[in-house]
Amino acid sequence: MDVYFDNAATTVVSEEVSAEMQRVMREEYGNPSSAHYMGRRAADELEKARGSVAAALGAGPDEVFFTSGGTEADNWAILGAAEIFKHRRGHIITSAVEHDAVIEPVKKLKAAGWEITCLLPDSSGRIPAEAFAAALRDDTVFASVMLVNNETGAVNPVNEYAKEVQRRRLPVVIHTDAVQGFCKTPINAKRLGASLISVSAHKIHGPKGVGALYIKKGVKLPRMIFGGNQENGKRAGTEALPAIAGFGEAARTGLDILEKSAAGAAALREYIVKRLAEELPETVFIGSGDSPYLLNLSLPGYKSEVILNFLESEGICAAKGAACKKGARSHVLEAMRLSNRVIDGAIRISFSRYNTMEEADYFVNTLKKAAHRLIRI
């Protein structure tokens, strides 16, 4: 039996998205910047997709700008905000559990002389609102804390961060990487309070190579890519229209079935946790479990690489953590101050709307088999 439980890394492109991309590639292949009727039709497709992504974000279409993915969106948000405040060179808040797409540009800013406060998570994997409030200073200009952690599923109270900034009347621009939350947990940009929000298509059954950055009206984020005046002058380069159309369809579908999909993922997660707690009691469940789509667990005393190899031999795809880490130790679990035995035995499984209870049963049975056959260290 083949089981794909690595949906936090990427998801299968849905049939609806594939059909939409094929249609646009074959029928609406004009350049959206061209003045003729084929260009105008392509521009209409572009704006239709923008409207769908904006609706899923609870934002206006004029606040959504397409990128090559979540990584570009994160880099643009962070380095662009630094450009806004370059004359003040103030204080930045981030967390120790961010994706590398946030960590690396923040490192670049630190090397350039910016002062960085890196917040540690609590035992649930969240960055508490109290910790964020305590880190705020009069010279804080920017903060970047992810909405849903890609390894533990912990959901951070970004709206509480924004309320504290407003209460203290500080000119802080808040960015959140919402890649793991988009179309999986309800997001309303206005209520969330972040001025910059990064999202991606391939985590929601859309294509790879396309994402978007929400830029709140009034935030004058400078462009990072120079050339033409595409994306309302914010990002040069001919838009990847077939991929963007696919993103729009994935966002539209994802929003329509958000509650149903989340309920299905929650049922799978709860079932696996219940069975493992009863049948493999040495299992350690890591984090708060806020997101129904992610489950991080550990078999202390075993090596995660060995467990994953065994699962793969039985047809199950899972992961240690973020795919981009390529097997490196999880900085997220280290930041949570877990023991080495727990970290070294940790694996992440992540669900989509296509996963089934039969697959959940097979996973539990196979993990039990691994625990019985593999040698404890």
pLDDT at 329: 79
- How far apart CA 210 and CA 251 sit, in angstroms, is 12
Contact 211, 201 (CB under 8 A): yes
Give yes or no: 317 in active site.
Answer: no
SS3 label, residue 255: helix
Contact 150, 99 (CB under 8 A): yes
Q: Are residues 30 and 123 in the same domain?
A: yes
- How far apart CA 149 and CA 119 sit, in angstroms, is 14
* DSSP codes joined into one string, 104-159: HHHHHHHHTT-EEEEEPP-TTS---HHHHHHH--TTEEEEE--SB-TTT-PBP-HH
Per-residue pLDDT of the chain (377 residues; tens, 9 = 90+): 999 999 999 999 999 999 999 999 999 999 999 999 999 999 999 999 999 999 999 999 999 999 999 999 999 999 999 999 988 888 999 999 999 999 999 999 999 999 999 999 999 999 999 999 999 999 999 999 999 999 999 999 999 999 999 999 999 999 999 999 999 999 999 999 999 999 999 999 999 999 999 999 999 999 999 999 999 999 999 999 999 999 999 999 999 999 999 999 999 999 999 999 999 999 999 998 899 999 999 999 999 999 999 999 999 999 986 655 555 779 999 999 999 999 999 999 999 999 999 999 999 999 999 999 887 76
Q: Between β-strands 173-177 and 64-67, what pairing exists: parallel, antiparallel or unpaired?
A: unpaired
- Output the six-digit token pair for 47: 């704006």
Q: Are residues 274 and 216 in the same domain?
A: no
Q: Which of 256, 282, 302 is the last residue of a domain?
A: 256
Q: Which of 256, 275, 299 is the last residue of a domain?
A: 256
Q: Are residues 201 and 315 in the same domain?
A: no
- Output the six-digit token pair for 353: 């709307």
- Boundaries of domain holding 333: 3-12+258-373
Angle (CA) 28-64-172 rounded to 5° is: 165
Q: Are residues 310 and 230 in the same domain?
A: no
Point out the catalytic residue in the list 118, 183, 317, 324. 324
Q: Are residues 208 and 348 in the same domain?
A: no
Angle (CA) 64-67-70 rounded to 5° is: 95
Q: Are residues 64 and 155 in the same domain?
A: yes
Q: Are residues 37 and 50 in the same domain?
A: yes
CATH number reported for the structural domain that contains residue 282 in this entry: 3.90.1150.10
Q: Are residues 324 and 351 in the same domain?
A: yes
Domains identified in the chain, total number: 2
Q: Can you point out the beta strands (E) in 186-264?
A: 196-200, 211-215
Q: Are residues 160 and 245 in the same domain?
A: yes
Q: Are residues 210 and 344 in the same domain?
A: no
Contact 347, 304 (CB under 8 A): yes
Residue 44 makes CB contacts below 8 A (sequence gap 6+) with: none
pLDDT at 288: 85
- How far apart CA 320 and CA 245 sit, in angstroms, is 32
Q: Are residues 251 and 268 in the same domain?
A: no
φ/ψ (deg, to 5) at 99? -70, 155
pLDDT at 87: 87
- Residue 127's closest CA among 283, 290, 270? 290
CATH number reported for the structural domain that contains residue 229 in this entry: 3.40.640.10
Q: Are residues 146 and 195 in the same domain?
A: yes
- Residue 13's closest CA among 22, 26, 24, 1? 22
Q: Which of 256, 282, 311 is the last residue of a domain?
A: 256
